[in-house]
Amino acid sequence: MEPKRLEVFTISNLLAVSVLCLPVVLGMTNCVTACGDDPAFRITTKHDRDKVKIAAEEDRVVIEVQSPKGISQAVVERSDDQWPASVMLRLHLKGLERLQVINGKRMLEASVSSQDGKRRISKDDSPLDAKHPSWMDIRMLDKDGEPVRRIPLNEGYFEMQLPKALLDDNPKSITFKWIDFYR
């Protein structure tokens, strides 16, 4: 009888240790997945509170930026040989007085007027129209992805597809600088 009691005690101890160690093991697995030796992108932000999340698919990447201060920047550096065919930027800001997208050789600037919602896009200080290859269509969306017309955006975001012309030279990194509202 005594050996059976010892066996039950040992199994229950193993079970308790397994349950206690499971979060540690899962945490390590998540770190290997998210923090692997060769992630597809490396992100550097200006402020610690800025959050950049990247959702990558085979030929598309969505870069989501949360910026509590509303004025900051992020550098997204690719580890792969090429950028995906499609790069979408989502800025979770209340306004967009200024956005700069810099690939090392070219700079696009964009803004959305808080008075009338008019979008302005320029390349190297020259205004662009919708027919220009560097044009970015900027959409204002609510938290559910539905179009909105008014600024400030409450829990919404600005969404834009980066133009292929910006990625043609296959830059190693892209820098995004933004200002929600001038202060």
Which tens digits make up the pLDDT trace of 160-175?
A: 999 999 999 999 999 9
Domain count for the chain, please give it: 2
Backbone φ/ψ region at 117: left (φ over 0), alpha (ψ -120 to 50), beta: left
Percentage of the chain modeled with pLDDT above 90: 72
Judgement on whether residues 113 and 173 belong to the same structural domain of the protein:
yes
Helix (H, G, I), strand (E, B) or coil at 67: coil
Q: How confident is the model at residue 144 (pLDDT cuts 50, 70, 90)?
A: very high
Over the chain, what is the mean pLDDT? 84
Determine the pLDDT at residue 84. 95
Query: Do 4 and 58 have their domain in common?
Result: no
Q: Where are the beta strands (DSSP E) in the chain?
A: 41-45, 51-56, 60-66, 71-78, 86-92, 96-102, 107-112, 119-123, 126-127, 138-141, 157-161, 173-179
Pairwise CA distance, residues 124 & 109, whole Å: 8
pLDDT for the residue 125: 86
At residue 27, what is the residue type? G
Q: pLDDT at position 124, please? A: 86
- Whether 100 and 174 share a structural domain: yes
Average pLDDT over residues 68-72: 97
Q: Indicate whether 162 and 91 sit together in one domain.
A: yes
| 94 to 6, 47, 88, 111: CA distances (angstroms) | 64, 18, 18, 12
- Quote the CA–CA distance of 123 and 113 in Å, as a whole number: 18
Give the model confidence (pLDDT) of 3-62 as tens digits: 444 444 454 443 444 434 444 333 332 332 234 445 899 999 999 999 999 999 889 999
- Same domain flag for 72 and 128: yes
Give this prediction's pTM: 0.77
Is the separation of the CB atoms in 78 and 141 below 8 Å? no
Structural domain containing residue 72: 41-179
